[in-house]
Amino acid sequence: MNSPAPHVGRVAAVLFDRDGTLVEDVPYNGDPARVRPLPGARRALDLLRAAGIPTGVVSNQSGIGRGLLTDTDVRRVNDRANTLLGGLDTWLYCPHPPEAGCGCRKPRPGLVIEAARRLGVPPADCVVIGDIAADVQAARAAGARGVLVPNAATLPGEVETAPSTAPDLLTAVRRLLTGTRGGGS
């Protein structure tokens, strides 16, 4: 069941998944030239910046642990995305493959907790926006709130079980800023 979006006074920070949420999902992308912001992403971030709400990225980047990318590759892609999106306040990623069992890989809470710490806000006052269940599960595990913005990679069951959904990123952010109810996909 979807729950109401939090009141703007209670949103201390908004954290985003990177691939499929802020930028086009290019599997194991190590090339900054292939970074393309998704429609509405820059505008959504501009609205949050105008409201004085800190932003960050929490992203699984298992290509590093699989030997397909380097830390430098991911940092270069993140830097390009950061430039195109107008700048976010913190960028964190998990370099481990799923089988590593680390605490930072979503759906575990490590990235969300660390991003909140870096931004100086309690995790409970953060909202995590992503495109798959692991994003909203990481939010829940950290005590934050999650919003699912489905795309072609999102499974129907993930939409059905999401605590809150929005049809696109800009709508998700506008709902957070106005405190309106998040509907189904």
Q: Over 73-116, what HEC string results?
A: HHHHHHHHHHHHHCCCCEEEEECCCHHHCCCCCCCCCHHHHHHH
In this prediction, residue 180 carries a pLDDT of 60
- Specify if 3 maps to a domain: no
Which one of the listed residues 19, 73, 89, 135 is annotated catalytic?
19
pLDDT tens digit string along 7-27? Answer: 344 799 999 999 999 999 999
Q: What is the DSSP letter of 5?
A: P
User: How many CB atoms sit inside 10 A of residue 101's CB?
Assistant: 9
Separate counts of helices (H) and strands (E) for the chain: 6, 5
- Specify if 170 maps to a domain: yes
Q: What mean pLDDT value characterizes the chain?
A: 93
> 133 lies in which domain range?
13-178
The distance in angstroms from the start CA to the end CA of the chain is 12
What domain count does the chain have? 1
- 25 tagged catalytic: no
In this prediction, residue 182 carries a pLDDT of 52
Please tell me the pTM assigned to this model: 0.92
Q: Which residue has the tokens 């194991």?
A: 28
- Specify if 127 maps to a domain: yes
- Specify if 2 maps to a domain: no
- Specify if 117 maps to a domain: yes
pLDDT tens digit string along 28-86? Answer: 999 999 999 999 999 999 999 999 999 999 999 999 999 999 999 999 999 999 999 99
Which one of the listed residues 17, 73, 131, 135 is annotated catalytic?
17
Task: Give ∠ CA 137-64-100 in degrees, rounded to 5.
Answer: 55
CATH number of the domain within which 123 lies: 3.40.50.1000
